[in-house]
């Protein structure tokens, strides 16, 4: 627990924490506010209705969560890679080992800290998203009567919890990549390449891609109606949400094992 508290104190001060969260909520705010301001200016009735759905509650809750989990996975990879790479670049891992800390324990608690920060970022982004959706609804002149819809509100805790687990897996993958590369820049670059490479692979390996880490993470929060989930829109075969939880857990455990083994064997002296 001591290492977790120390890690959280360290992460709170890291520029990567503020930059990653700021970019996510900034993009979300721009989109929702722009839609709210221009929804009624759309050239066709169909386009206007589609735009207004984004800022109409309770459906706006769905779009906020979908946006966070869709784009947030990429930011989680980048964040995990940035934090892990800094351990090597700034020599904090070496300093910890020098004072007698276990390498594996240090990395595991660092990963736990990343998971906590991802959860805080998820909740913070959700609150900001709901606020900007309300502002967008006001700009569009849409009623917010559905804001207190009990059925939708009842689903949100489970969906946010599942989304947090999926984003932790993606953050841990970024952490593992940067640990192997021993570099922030290489970790972020390879993590982004893997993220988009997996999307591209859907063209050639549609039945295999659903088991890969990013698509499995997207399926964790998919529903039968496709309301919560990735950008596949049901066109690509997806895992059942509960099966996806198992696959995501396997990727998460695998990444933890690889990170621990690599750190134990790595040369960090000098």
pLDDT value of residue 133: 92
Q: Global pTM?
A: 0.86
Q: Which residue in 122, 108, 110, 100 sits closest to 14, CA to CA?
A: 110
pLDDT value of residue 232: 44
pLDDT value of residue 222: 63
Separation between Cα atoms, residue 55 and residue 53, nearest integer Å: 5
pLDDT value of residue 237: 66
pLDDT value of residue 70: 82
**Tokens encoding 94:** 């070496």
pLDDT value of residue 233: 41
**Tokens encoding 180:** 């192997």
List, for the chain, all residue ranges whose pLDDT scores fall below the cut of 70.
222-237, 269-270
Instruction: Please answer whether residues 51 and 39 qualify as being in contact, where contact means their C-beta atoms are separated by less than 8 angstroms.
Output: yes
Q: Which residue in 83, 56, 15 sits closest to 139, CA to CA?
A: 56
Q: Which residue in 133, 116, 139, 3 sits closest to 59, CA to CA?
A: 133
Separation between Cα atoms, residue 83 and residue 71, nearest integer Å: 19
């Amino acid at each position: 627990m001591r290492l977790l508290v120390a890690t959280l104190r360290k992460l709170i001060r890291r520029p990567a924490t503020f930059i990653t969260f700021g970019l996510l909520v900034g993009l979300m705010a721009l989109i929702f506010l722009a839609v709210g301001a221009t929804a009624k200016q759309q050239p066709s009735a169909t386009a206007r209705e589609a735009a207004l759905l984004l800022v109409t509650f309770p459906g706006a809750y769905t779009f906020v969560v979908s946006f966070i989990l869709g784009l947030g996975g990429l930011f989680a990879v980048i964040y995990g890679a940035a934090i892990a790479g800094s351990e090597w670049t700034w020599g904090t891992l070496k300093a910890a080992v020098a004072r007698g800390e276990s390498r594996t324990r240090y990395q595991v608690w660092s990963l736990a800290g990343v998971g906590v920060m991802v959860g805080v970022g998820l909740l913070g982004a959700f609150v900001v998203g709901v606020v900007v959706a309300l502002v967008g609804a006001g700009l569009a002149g849409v009623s917010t009567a559905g804001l207190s819809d009990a059925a939708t509100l009842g689903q949100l805790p489970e969906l946010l919890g599942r989304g947090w687990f999926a984003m932790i897996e993606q953050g841990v993958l970024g952490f593992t990549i940067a640990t192997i590369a021993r570099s922030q820049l290489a970790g972020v670059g390879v993590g982004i390449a893997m993220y988009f490479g997996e999307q591209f692979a859907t063209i050639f390996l549609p039945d295999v891609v659903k088991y890969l880490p990013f698509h499995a993470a997207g399926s964790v929060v998919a529903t039968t109606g496709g309301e919560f989930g990735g950008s596949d829109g049901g066109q690509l075969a997806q895992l059942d949400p509960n099966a996806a939880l198992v696959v995501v857990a396997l990727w998460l455990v695998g990444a933890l094992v690889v990170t621990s083994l690599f750190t134990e064997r790595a040369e960090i002296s000098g």
